[in-house]
Amino acid sequence: MEKKYVLVADDEIGVRAAIKESIQDSYRYAMVLEAIDGADAIKKMNLQKFELLILDLNMPRFDGRAVLRAIKTLPKDNRPKKILVISGEMVIEDRDEELSKDIDFLPKPFSHESIRNYILGIFEKKVAPPVSATSSFDVSIVNAFIEATFEVLKTMAQTPATKEALFLREANMVSGDISAILSIRSTSHCGSLAISFGTECFLGIVNRMLGESFKQINAENSDAVAELCNQIFGVAKKNINAAGNDLQPAIPSVVTGVNHTITHKTHGQCVVVKFNTDVGTFTIETVMEKI
C-alpha cells in the first residue's frame, strides 16, 4: 500500500498530537509531519509533496488564511492534493476559487471520530467527508440552527451539547430510532429541518425535559421530538428572518422505528450536523433550496 504524507499545521502542540494520533489510528500507511505555524507549513510544503494538509485557521504570525494564499504561489507539484481547514466557525466566505475544490472544513471542537471519518473518506472512500468549500447552501441558515440547538437543549433539557462534526450526505439515509421533520418555506427558499436520536440519547433528554423515567420510546413521549424540532426552528427563525428572510414552518412529522429513514421532499444538499451530549449523540439535518 502506498504511503500517504500528511502535514498537520497548528500552533498548539496538544492539538497536533491529537490529530496525529487520530490519523495514525485510522490509516496505518499515513506518514504525519507537523508544522508549528503557517510559515513552518509553507517551508515544509516547499520540500515535500503532501497528500493532505490539515490546517488551523487561527495561528499567530502566519495564520491559515495566509497559508492558503501562499499555497497558490507554490509550484503545482508542491501543492497538497487536499486541504482540511479546522475552525471554530464555518468559513465558507473565506473560500478561494482557485483552491475551493480541494478544501474541506471541519468545525472545532472536533473529535477522534470526525478525523477518523475524514481520513477514511479521502484515503479509502468509506465515509462521507465534511463539507466542501464548493457546497452551495446558505451557511448562515445552518449556523442559526446549530446555535438554536445548543440553546434549546440547554434550556429545555438541561443538557449542554457540543458540535462534533458537520458533513454532507445523501438525503433519505438511515437517521436513527426517532426523528421529527419540519417542512420550511419562504419566498426564496424551500426545504426541511430534521432532528434524529438513537433510543438512549432520546430517553436521556426526554426524561430531563419531562421529569420522568421512561425506559422506551412510546406514544406518551414521542411527541417531545417534534417539540424540540419546533423550538429549534423557532429560536433560529428570529436570527434568520432578522437578516431579511421570511422562513415559515409547517407542522413537524414524527418518525419512529429502529434505523428508520426520513424523507426530505426537497432535492438539495443534505447538511448533517452531529452533536454530542452526556447521554449520547444526535443529529440535525437541513435541506434547503433556493426557489
Q: Which CATH number goes with the domain that contains 200?
A: 3.40.1550.10
pLDDT at position 109 is 65
Report DSSP state, residue 186. -
State the sign of the Cα–Cα–Cα–Cα dihedral 75, 71, 128, 247. Answer: negative
- Closest by Cα among 51, 44, 88 to 70: 44
Q: What is the pLDDT along the chain (291 residues), one digit of tens a residue?
A: 678 999 999 998 988 998 999 898 888 889 999 999 999 999 999 999 999 999 998 888 788 889 988 998 888 888 999 999 887 654 444 445 445 567 888 776 677 777 887 888 888 765 555 555 444 456 678 888 999 999 999 999 999 999 877 776 655 666 789 999 999 988 877 889 999 999 999 999 999 999 999 999 999 999 999 999 999 999 999 888 887 778 888 889 999 998 888 888 776 678 888 899 999 999 999 888 777
Q: What is the pTM of this model?
A: 0.61
- 3-state secondary structure at position 177: strand
Residues 60, 118 share a domain: yes
pLDDT at position 140 is 74
Number of domains present in the structure of the chain: 2
- 3-state secondary structure at position 95: coil
Domain endpoint, select from 94, 123, 152: 123
Residues 222, 117 share a domain: no
Residues 276, 177 share a domain: yes
Q: Which domain holds residue 74?
A: 4-123
Distance, CA of 65 to CA of 153 (rounded, Å):
34
